[in-house]
Amino acid sequence: MSTAILYSITGIIIFTVGLRGLVIYTHFLRKVLAINVMGTGIFMFLIALANRNSNGMPDPIPHAMVLTGIVVAVSATAFILALVVRLHAATGHTSFEAIHNDDRGAKL
Amino acid sequence: MTQIIASHASVWTIMLPFLSGVLCFMAGRRIGTLIGVVTAFILTILTLNLGVSVFQSGPSRYAIGGWSSPLGIDIHLDGLSVLMLGFTAIVGTCISMYAFGYFKDRKGLKKEKNKHYAKMGTYFWPLWFFAWGGLNVLFLSSDIFNIYVALEIVSFSAIALVALKGSVDALLSATRYFFLTLLGSLVYLFGVGFLYSAYGVLDLGLLETVIRPGMISTVAITLMTLGLIIKTALFPIHFWLPPAHANAPAPVSAILSGLVVMGSFYLLVRLWFETFTGVIMPVAGQLLGVLGAIAILGGALQALRQSRLKMMLAYSTVAQIGYMFLLFPLLAGNSIGQGFAWGGGIYFSISHACAKAAAFMVAGSIMYALGHDRIKDFRGLAQRFPIGVFAFALAGMSLMGLPPSGGFIGKWMLLKAAMLTGQWWYALLIVAGSILAACYIFRVLEITLKAANPGEKALHIPLRMQLSSLAMSFFAILLGLAATIPLEILKIDSPVFFQSMEGFIK
Amino acid sequence: MNINIFDLLLAPTLIFLAWQMLRARDLLVSIVLFIIFGVLVSLAWVQLQAPDIALVEAVIGSALTGALFLGCLGHMESHRKKIVIEKIKISKGSKVYDCFLSVLVISMGSILSWSVLTLPKNVLGLTDKIQSALAKSGVENPVTAVILNFRGYDTLLEMGVLFLVVVSVYALHAIEPVSIKIQPRQASRVLIAFLHILTPLMILVAFYLLLVGGHAPGGAFQAGAMLAGVGILMLVGGVAFSFNVERWVLRFIYVIGFGSFLLIGLGVMGGERNFLEYPEYLSKKLIFLIEFLATISISFILVTLFAGCSGFLNYGKSNSGTVRGVSA
Amino acid sequence: MSVNDYISVFFIGVGVMFFIAGILGVLRFPDIYSRLHALTKADNLGLGFIILGLALGIGEISMALKLLFIWVVVIISSATSCYLIARAALRMGIVPWRKL
């Protein structure tokens, strides 16, 4: 087994851990954390496999892709956190379930 | 592959929206609105021009930065991309005209409320032009990673537009939309990662030449399809769409249902039938077909149950997305009907964009004047708002698939494809879905045609809004009357089998 | 390349951290674990010969994103006047659901991993092509060449994403007057003294990263994030400075990075020369100009994004603590 | 290995010892103030030794200066952050631990 394979599979596992977290945890912040974890998993996969050239030079194209990806991820995180903060200020809740339950309570 | 260098016009169609988005942000609302409307018209002229040049000299590529494809990123122009570009421009111009009226100061509103609309108007323009620019990047790019960035631009601006209203409902649906669409793009990106690590190229055209069936290719196309299905809101991941589309301001609903949906669908079609043709197994197409079938029936039934017009239209979008996905099973089999399936699916998505945008514009106008969109209180609307109801009826014809609308042509071609490939159950489904669509459209029209209560006057709605929705719905009908032109454009460098359609076009 | 013991330790640690981060009972612990995770991931980048990404990961992926989360959590807790007690809850409330999902995710992971093993051992890639084109690109660092020249289009759009998000964050607060407010509390003297040392240092480091980007790891994003770090410290520490988006100067700063890139791209276009195709004799200068302006934009945008999710962006009732008009 | 290398390894080893001591302090000390104390003091010194060792190992003046610079920045920022944490803890009302 080479470093490339080790880290690419690590990346896949990190991605799946994040995916499970995204679906299963309800708190918005935890969901956003999970999305970031998923992203990191994908990036690790890309960078690991960029590093398996026989001449020892890593392929710079995936590096550029990951740099772009990290910046997009931080933008997404900032955007969703701003949304979450607004939602929290308006409803006092931090998950879809809580807001939904509250809504039903108000209507009854 | 054609190597004719395209003119710089294709770059301008991509960069002009971004440029004016930036200018709108700098200039503020008043000047920003003017910049917006002017840009929309210039863009329409530019894309029509581009369409003509592709029509005359065939498909072309353009190397950005002068480094052509494996190293750099290419723009490619062919029939499909030019068609998408053109209809985005037409729908976009109508929406821009509509928004021009929608975000204006309103008479008879409280000062505070007006201020709210003014603020919304300030941010609407830059966000809308970024969405437009992102779509243009998506349609023209031939690089799968570049497309990922474009998808993110489109979704971020769409989410910001949904949240623009600032109400709890809007924020909530924007948040839900956000999580799902981000999940979709990440899964897509993973697919891109697999492709690059296996083949070492990102260009769609080059991939087409090097791709081989096998484990990696199957995994990659599965991931990319999953991601794009989430983004297109096909059943069973459709639940985020109706609240997001219904809670947004009217021009935004039109943008989302008309254009944003079309973007990810376009990409899926291109991947399946150009790049991955050799990899796709027919059973996968059937799977998408089944999901589409459930979406058609479920979406239409849900639409029938809605009491609010915008919610009804949003569920109708879910059903119509189902129709678009019928393209996949009908094309997967190798036979004579493929030309009809291909043309029908694409045609359907275009005419849906026009019709649904028109319908949402009318719904927005009604909300603008009445302050609500409860269908049961629409009594007498045909007398009080004749242009709107007329436009809604025209758009409805296309949604139901009545001749001579664009929706009719799309459905007819899909129907023909279903018969020719011997999958008659899809034909039944198409007919059943149309009947259900007729039910929910006529339910609304019936109430509006009832006599108005005495003393109710005509609605006061800015002329710009009325005319732009009318123009949009005329387009939906015109697509049925002049079907040859879009189909001829679609034929240019088309991946599939248009020979079988020759007779139909002429 | 052969595997060494460090990799064998690091990889499971990363998985364990990701797992623990998501399931930690206290959200603050989750976020701290996220930051540690980020730092370790940047070690993995170093192991994988990607120093550029290690820098970006440490500065943006770990530190800045961590600051965003911490700011958001802190703001939400203070906003409620009581600590948000949040239990870990499974969405649909049932163990069966969790099991089903876990099986699904594990099988997905195994299919993906299995297909990785079928990947060809040595892929063509574009390394050779990039090496031979490097001389014409105007920079010597291959990653910078890809980012700003070969695939400059992606980077242009990425700047667009950053700009778009800043517009979106302002649009979220569109109903109310928008300006960045400072905390009413007094800034700590020690912190101010620290900032007096740190600010010039960070400007120096940012400039160094910018300059060095041409031939070694570094570049606009790293430099911009460095500067943004100082801005965030000022914001948190209560050092008086405030933004007001109504002023055109601030909007201009947001725009300048993306706008200048776009205009330069369009400006070099014409005749035989394509979009973003810099003339060879100018490419070094143009790339530096783009990076320099991008750094300024990025730093302000990142500070604004932090402000947007940690309650420094003014919304709701107008706050008496708002300082308007003090220039940024 | 030359003499220089042995010296460098020795200093790095000393630094690691300080780090271990610092970690033990964080784990074993009774309250936040004493833990901070252990953390900043031991770690700064440990880092100093490690940097000294590395600088000797590299034997290049410009590199050594860069490493020294890193150490100075870490010392300043850890002092500041330690002070801020302690102040926040005091304001939250955490009473320093006393031997009973």
Domain-located, residue C111: no
Contact between residue B154 and residue B135 where contact means Cβ atoms under 8 Å apart: yes
Domain count, chain B: 1
C27–A54: do the CB atoms touch at under 8 Å? no
Cβ–Cβ contact C198 with D under 8 A: yes
Cβ–Cβ contact D73 with C under 8 A: yes
Residues C55 and C185 in one domain: no
B18–C172: do the CB atoms touch at under 8 Å? no
C118–B156: do the CB atoms touch at under 8 Å? no
Cβ–Cβ contact C117 with D under 8 A: no
Residue B303 belongs to domain spanning: 281-506
Distance CA C69, CA C62 (A): 10
What is the residue-level pLDDT of chain B in tens, covering all 506 positions?
344 445 788 899 999 999 999 999 998 888 989 999 999 999 999 999 888 888 888 888 888 888 877 888 999 888 899 999 999 999 999 999 999 988 887 777 777 777 778 888 889 999 999 999 999 999 999 999 999 999 999 999 999 999 988 888 899 999 999 999 999 999 999 999 999 988 888 999 889 888 888 889 999 999 999 999 999 999 888 899 999 999 899 999 999 999 999 999 999 999 988 888 878 888 888 999 999 999 999 999 999 999 999 999 999 999 999 999 998 888 866 667 778 888 889 999 999 999 999 999 999 999 988 888 899 888 888 888 899 999 999 999 999 988 888 999 999 989 988 888 888 889 999 999 999 999 999 999 999 988 877 777 788 888 899 999 999 999 999 998 888 888 888 888 776 655 545 545 43
Contact between residue B339 and residue B498 where contact means Cβ atoms under 8 Å apart: yes
Residues C206 and C327 in one domain: yes
Distance CA A75, CA C166 (A): 9
Cis peptide before B236 (omega within 30 of 0): yes
Residues C151 and C76 in one domain: no
pTM for the model stands at 0.93
Q: Which residues of A touch B197 (CB under 8 A)?
A: 8, 45-46, 49-50, 62
Sketch the domain layout of chain A as residue ranges.
3-107
Contact between residue B176 and residue B248 where contact means Cβ atoms under 8 Å apart: no
Give the nearest partner residue to A64 out of C19, C113, C143, using CB atoms. C143
State the CB neighbour count (10 A cutoff) for residue D88: 12
Cβ–Cβ contact C205 with D under 8 A: no
Residue B425: Cβ-neighbour burial (10 angstroms; 0-12, 13-18, 19+): exposed
| Fold for the domain defined by A3-107 | Helix Hairpins (1.10.287)
Distance CA C240, CA B43 (A): 45
DSSP letter string, B313-330: HHHHHHHHHHHHHTHHHH
Distance CA B493, CA B205 (A): 12
Residues C43 and C149 in one domain: no
Sketch the domain layout of chain D as residue ranges.
3-92
- Outline where C188-327 has alpha helix (H): 189-212, 220-237, 248-267, 283-309
B409: left (phi over 0), alpha (psi -120 to 50) or beta: alpha
Q: Which residues of B touch C151 (CB under 8 A)?
A: 65, 72-73, 146
Contact present, B and D (at least 3 Cβ pairs less than 8 Å): no
Cβ–Cβ contact B176 with A under 8 A: yes
Q: Which residues of C touch B152 (CB under 8 A)?
A: 161
Q: What is the pLDDT of residues C231-278, one digit of tens each?
A: 888 888 777 666 666 678 888 999 999 999 999 999 888 777 888 888
Domain count, chain C: 2
Query: How big is chain C by its Cα radius of gyration, in Å?
Result: 23
Residue C204 belongs to domain spanning: 125-328
**B501: its two tokens:** 């359609």
Give the nearest partner residue to B64 out of C254, C259, C274, using CB atoms. C274
Cβ–Cβ contact B216 with C under 8 A: yes
Q: Which residues of C touch D76 (CB under 8 A)?
A: 194, 197-198
Chains that touch A (3 or more CB pairs under 8 A): B, C
Q: What is the pLDDT of residues C267-320, one digit of tens each?
A: 888 777 888 888 888 888 888 899 999 999 999 999 999 988 887 776 443 333
Interface of A with B in 35-74 (CB under 8 A): 35, 38-39, 42, 45-46, 49-50, 59, 61-62, 65, 68-69, 72
B178–A80: do the CB atoms touch at under 8 Å? yes
Query: How big is chain A by its Cα radius of gyration, in Å?
Result: 19
Q: Which residues of C touch A41 (CB under 8 A)?
A: 18
Domain-located, residue B63: no
- Taking Cα atoms as reference points, which of B367, B390, B364 lies closest to residue B448? B390
**B429 phi, psi to nearest 5 deg:** -60, -45
Residues C223 and C318 in one domain: yes
Domain-located, residue B101: no
Q: Which residue of C has its CA nearest to B216?
A: C115
Interaxial angle between packed helices C189-212 and C220-237, expressed in degrees from 0 to 180 and rounded to the nearest 10: 170
CA distance D100 to chain C (A): 31
Instruction: Please provide the distance, in angstroms rounded to a whole number, between the alpha carbons at the two ends of chain A.
Output: 61
Range C149-152, long-range pairs (CB < 8 A, 24+ positions): C149/B65, C149/B67, C149/C278, C149/C283, C149/C287, C150/B65, C150/B67, C150/B71, C150/B72, C151/A61, C151/A64, C151/B65, C151/B72, C151/B73, C151/B146, C152/B64, C152/B65, C152/C265, C152/C276
Distance CA B411, CA C12 (A): 54
CA distance C24 to chain B (A): 21
Core vs surface per residue C200-223: b (16+ CB within 10 A) or e? ebbeebbeebbebbbeebbbbbbb
Contact present, A and C (at least 3 Cβ pairs less than 8 Å): yes
Interaxial angle between packed helices C189-212 and D61-92, expressed in degrees from 0 to 180 and rounded to the nearest 10: 150
Secondary structure class of B459 (helix, strand, coil): coil
Q: C88, C108, C140 — which closes off a domain?
A: C88
Domain-located, residue B346: yes
